[in-house]
Amino acid sequence: MTIQTGKLSDPAVRAFVNAVNAHDRDGFMALLAPGATMSDDGSDRDLDDWTDREIFSSHGHMEVDNESRGGHDLIARYSNDTWGEMRTKWHFEVDGDKITRFETGQA
């Protein structure tokens, strides 16, 4: 059962999902703290390169199925034009209203 994005607990994570689904690169980047980092399947990646390739140029989309840890951990069906749909896990580290790090990978 999908959780409506507007009902996600953490405002920064909610804005992250909204920006991904709206393909709003500027809104997405505004959510990230200076020096923010990320990893995919346990390996640190270049955030700009990864988000361009896996989200924006490939039309990424998240359907959240579950949240935990105050909304900082998600299980989502993630799809893009490159890989199709897959079940993914997401972990967010948030400082105030900015995301300092996110980690994703197959669930």
Q: pTM, whole model, 2 decimals?
A: 0.95
Q: Over the stretch 76-85, which tens digit does the pLDDT of each residue have?
A: 999 999 999 9
Exposure class string for 53-78: b at 16+ Cβ within 10 A, else e: ebbbeeebbbebeebeeebbbbebeb
pLDDT of residue 32: 98
Q: What is the DSSP letter of 43?
A: E
Q: Any idea of the CA torsion for 25, 27, 28, 31, to the nearest 10 degrees?
A: 150
